[in-house]
Structure 1
């Protein structure tokens, strides 16, 4: 008891927080527990302490915690007294503020429950002792033991995880609770395991290999699948904990044929419009979709993603997801997340991408699902999050898909076929030149993804009349529309001298870029526009074949040096990668924007900028006269790179020579002395 009292003094600065009368009453009860020889007396005293433990938590905890722990060891064969002790400890260590405590209690100022939890955990054997009571089937023992562990892990998750990890059969005892036929214990065990498995890969692996997935699928089935209650959601949340950022468990999940068990959950009943979606069904579906995305997340190793994508196709899970896309009566948030999920199931997988390209919407006449989705993207009346999801799905469809990129560009090219059906190209063009600045941005970014790592389509796109319009000053005053068009231009001209040539021939194009790059004032993210203009100017130098006499590499370099100045240009270009918007966009392929004003840069452009910023700086290096009268900028890229290598070698050799000279000088001085 003195141990806990001394601990409380260090935390609260003394023990004057309870009234003497209350302290005396609790002390008498604690004394009865520790000194009575009759089990009945000890049991009655423990029952009384439990009754007081909410209202007089501080007193009961300070005076009785050590005694209660002793009772758990000495009287463990009596279910009643063990239950009273566990319940009392649960109340004492709870983070919750009880109504009985009153508004002026010390717990309102300092969370007493957390302090008692900390004291209880100082001896790890206490947790081992509580875990041992999970083996008891008696409800009076097992139920309060589960509640106490849940309370403790809620306050100190990391500490409990560390103790349970080294406790013999600790995880196994918890997993056995999922087989409980008493739902209150089983359901509480689910919550306990959800908290236990957060951010701990080792515990996640143990739980997974303790047959967790089979047990969770059994519970989901018992509870009615996606139509079930919150218990189904808890099961899915626990699965998510086991799989997120855990490639070992994802591999185990895939090889254990658990993806096959997920597939039927996505099949919608034919009368869904009549039945409707309950709030709980929506929550369950969100968890299911997040589970699928966890398996095929772009952050996973490529081989795992590919294997999961293949399984999802072979088990008709991809088909079920596409059916949800085209179904009527699906809530907007579920539809949005399904679009994102389909995107990641097909991303970079040519077979899945081809399947998606052939999905038809049940319209009259039938239209490709891609066309229907793009119609939503360029429609300003559609929800913002839905439009973002469609763009991401379209980007995933084009990712490493040269065939898909070509099909989209083909719909933009002049044709004599007289085809009157609406195409992806027509939709992107309509969005690009609409009066809705968000449609401008979405369409420009979507079109740029048709060109990524595809030089052939960059040149094909030059055949489209669209090119002359793109090269001119953006037709809108909205910053986002300008950024979208400039990112499209950057993707188009990178590694494509013919595109640079066409752009340089557009009247006023360079004047616009020069004016923006040399501007000295900006606000509301205008620095991004100026940095992007500087980047596009740099591409015009780096990928210039000198076929436009007035805008050769040398002429453009001089233009930048005289009109912008090299210092200003470097500053504007450098500000791009240092901007918080750039850092956010470069994190992940999916656009994570809560508001339309956040749509500025996108992932693939940031990748391109990172690769080419150095190339541009090198191409625009400050001119230095060389011994033979030529300048660095008049050299080819290959010659320039070779020259830089030689310079670096000379610097290293010069540095070594200076070090040797210093050593030689020091040696001579020592010899003289």
Structure 2
């Protein structure tokens, strides 16, 4: 109210001091920032609108909130954080920056970095402001886009943050605090930093004393939200850092995560996070795998798997009854299976893999997985596929597990039993099964055959003449049936499966020559080798995938059996096919596939040459190759196989990595055999010469890896450019929608400018008058706004108190009492001043009387002195010394009297001014 009254007072004088304008601005800021709680929230949520209100106060027109400069707005709030001393002001400014963090990520993240770091280091006990700062930093690092890997702005901001010394230590110190808001936001910020700059943050955490242990301790927090955020943070912390992974494992993190899994429902996403951290700690980390086994955690893993598949003990799981699994439960089971797979992966050290396979067998996990394969529990295709792969790697190279798997059976609806191998092959050869399931079954069958000569022998024996019923279904019969299939994938599966039965077992290659097949019911039976050879020649240059499978089977078979080579070479059409199509570049398939086929044909030719024992036959075959093809052409085709894309893809892992059917072309173990014998094959026809085969395979594979990496980078750039182009297209479309309206607006504006230029001179005076009236109206509206604010604040305060009317009356009565007390104090002061004036008047009268007496005495003395002087002058005698002394005395008294008169005059003047100031009537008469 006082500021409103002052405004009217200044306006009445016609001028407004600058001090008042500054004071008015401060008062308005304090009024809005401290007093009006509802309005400050509106300012924080919609700052551009409030800034437009500020401009309206000082003569600016209304502005569009979208046109507000975000950087300037952020700068103002950062300045408030740095300069304001009141904690409430700084808190509100930080809250405003938090609300702007998503819209102006770069400005909020860079301009206020110094303030943020200072608060994190110096104000750790102010939990409210600390939580706001941590939340703001986390918000600027997080993008609305789900693809975090392409968040370049987040990468840059994280880099800027980590350049500030002590940031990570401050975040870790905040995590140690028990306050809910501080700890939660600190964990979220650390998670965001790890996602963007993982290696740097990991190094910083390692540099802190007990840094990893402090982070593991958060999992003990009994508040589930913080515990879950900590698990997400550990997901990022445990990525690709073996040292941190070992520290986490030694801090008993495995047990803590499994305890969390036991307390969560089966379809909880927290279980997925716990299992993901466990998977990070075990994958390709031999020390952690050993620690996991020594702590008997594989048995606990089996218990969790059983509860996932069949429900916890004492609970009825609806998913088991209905045959439908929730998506999250499926994801949890898949992650658990991947943990088991990480323990038995072929990429691990041989001792670790074998020990894990033994523990999986002893803890009944293998039996549990076999039940999944051979029973109907409602598992999805994803779970079934992953289970088959885990079984494959659990039995790979372990004879005990392989025999146990082969001994398991499936009970059919007619109460007959069917071996698990037979069930696998039936699924592999079924065209209606999903491709990824067929690939997993194929890998499981190959894992059963790996280093299992006894198993290979039993499968070959099912193809030999025996006392078995003719119509009985056996594994060998299913393999031969697959080889004869018209489906390319099924034929490839059959050829590679039979190839693995012969791989590194020469006596089985001889046994397989005894196999006879009945292709048609009317025709005679033919040998398996003749059937495979005829199948190859009948395809010509078509079906590259089937040809690749047949050529790999022939290559391994011929390499292990000289008798098979003799039988194969005895038919001219076989050599005719090989020597004709080795240089054929007009077949089906891509260029890389044709090059791989030519390399397989060259491999088969040179294997025949190598395995021919008769010198004459060998010389004849070598001459035939030289005459029809040429040695250099054969060597070139052989060396070209290792440079193909199919060769590089097959050489990576024993498990087929194909996502589409046409990607199955070469086999891992055939590639391995090719590398071992390629040099010896080339030396047959080039005894003294340079060999450029797979000796340089490492460099070739590395070049392909670099090519793939470059292609991935190009794809990422293209995706980014496509996203940017889409944004630009959207913007251009919006501009196109507005273009017609803007054109009309420009036309109207041009017409207005033309009319204004004609009337500018005549209306200049009137415009100035209008401007003056507008300014005056703004001041009046401002005064009215002050009154409204005061009334609103008063009503707001009254509304917050019960019995507001009585409280308001009491406040008014109290104000009246205070004013009456001030008025009584004023009257008392006036009476005291009146008494002082009367006292001064009496003293003045007394002084006047004394002065008049002294003046009369002085006149008498002067008269006597003049008479004495005249008498002395007449008589001509010197005056009496006593008279001279008296005259001197009188003169000194006269001078003193003059000084007193001067002082009395000054006091009179002062008293007269005092009376005038007190409002008393004073005349100019000295006597009065």
Structure 1 segments unaligned to the other structure (5+ residues):
1-17, 99-108, 625-673
In 1: Cα distance, 2:101 partner to 2:660 partner: 48
Alignment of 1:511-522 (within 5 A): 511-522=576-587
In 1: Cα distance, 2:478 partner to 2:103 partner: 67
Residues 89 and 387 (structure 1), Cα distance of their counterparts in 2 relative to 1, 3 Å cut: closer
Greater fraction helix: 2
Give 3-state SS (helix, strand or coil) of 1:463's partner: coil
Give 3-state SS (helix, strand or coil) of 2:310's partner: coil
Measured after TM superposition, the shift of residue 568 of structure 1 is 0.9
Task: State the TM-score, normalized to the length of structure 2.
Answer: 0.61
Q: Is the 8 A contact 2:585 2:594 kept in 1?
A: no
Measured after TM superposition, the shift of residue 112 of structure 1 is 4.4
Alignment of 1:543-622 (within 5 A): 543-546=611-614, 552-621=617-686
Q: Is the 8 A contact 2:267 2:326 kept in 1?
A: no
Task: Establish whether residue 333 from structure 1 lines up as the match of residue 391 from structure 2.
Answer: no
Q: Which residue of the other structure, out of 605, 629, 648, is the alignment partner of 1:537? A: 605
Residues 30 and 620 (structure 1), Cα distance of their counterparts in 2 relative to 1, 3 Å cut: same
- Between 1:349-358 and 1:45-54, the stretch displaced more is 45-54
Q: Is the 8 A contact 1:194 1:238 kept in 2?
A: yes
Give 3-state SS (helix, strand or coil) of 2:560's partner: coil
Q: Is the 8 A contact 2:388 2:440 kept in 1?
A: yes
In 2: Cα distance, 1:623 partner to 1:25 partner: 80
In 2: Cα distance, 1:93 partner to 1:526 partner: 50
In 2: Cα distance, 1:425 partner to 1:182 partner: 59
Q: Report what 1:247 is aligned to.
A: 286
Q: Report what 2:546 is aligned to.
A: 481
Q: Which residue of the other structure, out of 287, 293, 296, is the alignment partner of 2:341? A: 293
Measured after TM superposition, the shift of residue 503 of structure 1 is 1.6
Measured after TM superposition, the shift of residue 184 of structure 1 is 1.5
Q: Report what 2:129 is aligned to.
A: 81
Residues 273 and 325 (structure 1), Cα distance of their counterparts in 2 relative to 1, 3 Å cut: farther
Q: Report what 2:261 is aligned to.
A: 220
Q: Report what 1:8 is aligned to.
A: none
Q: Is the 8 A contact 1:52 1:60 kept in 2?
A: yes
Q: Deviations over 1:29-60 (max 9, x none)?
A: 43443344444443344334333434444443
Give 3-state SS (helix, strand or coil) of 1:361's partner: strand
Residues 326 and 76 (structure 1), Cα distance of their counterparts in 2 relative to 1, 3 Å cut: same
Q: Is the 8 A contact 1:90 1:148 kept in 2?
A: yes
User: How well do the aligned residues superpose, as a CA RMSD in angstroms?
Assistant: 2.3
Give 3-state SS (helix, strand or coil) of 1:508's partner: helix
Residues 473 and 565 (structure 1), Cα distance of their counterparts in 2 relative to 1, 3 Å cut: farther
Q: Which residue of the other structure, out of 472, 478, 485, is the alignment partner of 1:421? A: 472
Q: Report what 1:350 is aligned to.
A: 399
In 1: Cα distance, 2:360 partner to 2:145 partner: 47
Q: Report what 1:284 is aligned to.
A: 332
Q: Which residue of the other structure, out of 467, 470, 485, is the alignment partner of 2:529? A: 467
Q: Report what 2:417 is aligned to.
A: 366
Measured after TM superposition, the shift of residue 79 of structure 1 is 1.1
Residues 412 and 24 (structure 1), Cα distance of their counterparts in 2 relative to 1, 3 Å cut: closer
Give 3-state SS (helix, strand or coil) of 2:346's partner: coil
Q: Which residue of the other structure, out of 319, 325, 330, is the alignment partner of 2:367? A: 319
Task: Establish whether residue 141 from structure 1 lines up as the match of residue 182 from structure 2.
Answer: yes
- Between 1:311-320 and 1:230-239, the stretch displaced more is 230-239
In 2: Cα distance, 1:139 partner to 1:468 partner: 77
Residues 274 and 617 (structure 1), Cα distance of their counterparts in 2 relative to 1, 3 Å cut: same
Give 3-state SS (helix, strand or coil) of 2:502's partner: coil
In 2: Cα distance, 1:265 partner to 1:236 partner: 11
Residues 162 and 97 (structure 1), Cα distance of their counterparts in 2 relative to 1, 3 Å cut: same
Q: Report what 2:809 is aligned to.
A: none
- Between 1:130-139 and 1:167-176, the stretch displaced more is 167-176
Residues 86 and 414 (structure 1), Cα distance of their counterparts in 2 relative to 1, 3 Å cut: same
In 1: Cα distance, 2:457 partner to 2:209 partner: 60
Q: Quick check: which has more Rg, 1 or 2?
A: 2
Q: Report what 1:497 is aligned to.
A: 562
Alignment of 1:385-396 (within 5 A): 385-396=436-447
Task: State the TM-score, normalized to the length of structure 1.
Answer: 0.84
Measured after TM superposition, the shift of residue 356 of structure 1 is 0.6
Q: Is the 8 A contact 1:344 1:393 kept in 2?
A: yes
Q: Deviations over 1:428-467 (max 9, x none)?
A: 1111112222221111100111111111211111111212
Residues 375 and 27 (structure 1), Cα distance of their counterparts in 2 relative to 1, 3 Å cut: closer
Task: Establish whether residue 406 from structure 1 lines up as the match of residue 457 from structure 2.
Answer: yes
Structure 2 segments unaligned to the other structure (5+ residues):
1-65, 312-317, 517-527, 690-928
Residues 31 and 449 (structure 1), Cα distance of their counterparts in 2 relative to 1, 3 Å cut: same
- Between 1:378-387 and 1:231-240, the stretch displaced more is 378-387
Residues 275 and 617 (structure 1), Cα distance of their counterparts in 2 relative to 1, 3 Å cut: closer
